[in-house]
């Protein structure tokens, strides 16, 4: 395993290329107290696939949640 740099919601973040995305999300503070959806490089990663998903260096990770809207 090795440390890689990724982009999390537009900000620099560190990740482990051997860790599953679900574990990485927990490390980044997404504790499951509200629902979120995840896209990597612009593509939705359905919840059942988060555990097996591995990131590569420079991956663009977007964690999306509900917000106020009209």
Closer residue to other proteins (CB): 12 or 67? 67
Q: How far is Cα of residue 2 from the mean position of the Cα atoms in its chain?
A: 17
CB of 7 to other proteins, least distance (A): 12
CB of 68 to other proteins, least distance (A): 4
Binding site for other proteins (CB under 8 A): 9-10, 30, 33-37, 39, 42-44, 46-47, 62-70
31: phi > 0 → left, psi -120 to 50 → alpha, else beta; which?
alpha
């Amino acid at each position: 395993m090795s440390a890689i740099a990724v982009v999390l919601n537009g900000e620099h973040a560190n990740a482990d290329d051997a860790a599953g995305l679900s574990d990485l999300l927990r490390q980044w503070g997404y504790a499951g107290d509200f629902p979120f959806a995840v896209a990597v490089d612009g593509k939705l990663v359905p919840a059942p696939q988060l555990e097996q998903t591995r990131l590569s260096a420079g991956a663009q990770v977007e964690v999306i949640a509900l917000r106020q809207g009209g």
